[in-house]
Structure 1
Amino acid sequence: MNPQHTRAFAKAAGRFSNTDRIDAVMLARFGALMTPQIRPIRSDIIRFANWSPPDER
């Protein structure tokens, strides 16, 4: 989900807040109403997530 889209959705609903509980409810509502497009994870992000530092022996 695009953070700007979810933020605009929350502001339009009058529920803009920085509490985890309200954020979770708004994200769930956004996902249910807007059915956002599911995109695959980019390969460079996957490579970064699987990277580990070399052993320092």
Structure 2
Amino acid sequence: MGGQDGTRQQGRTAVGGQARAPRKSDEGRVGGALREAYRATVEEPVPDDLLDLLNKLS
């Protein structure tokens, strides 16, 4: 599915009716955004109710 109507198709972006491969700069931004999301998630504190449940298991 997809194609010349501006939709995405198999890792390529349709631009003006022609598909193009993702650019290295796009990949770098995506990678950076994923690393930042992971870092922020890892730094979040564990909620007290979850810690209580974990303590009940041990």
TM-score > 0.5 by shorter chain: no
Q: Which has the higher helix share?
A: 1
> Highest Rg: 1 or 2?
2
Considering Cα pairs closer than 8 Å and 6+ residues apart, tell me whether 1 or 2 has the greater RCO. Answer: 1
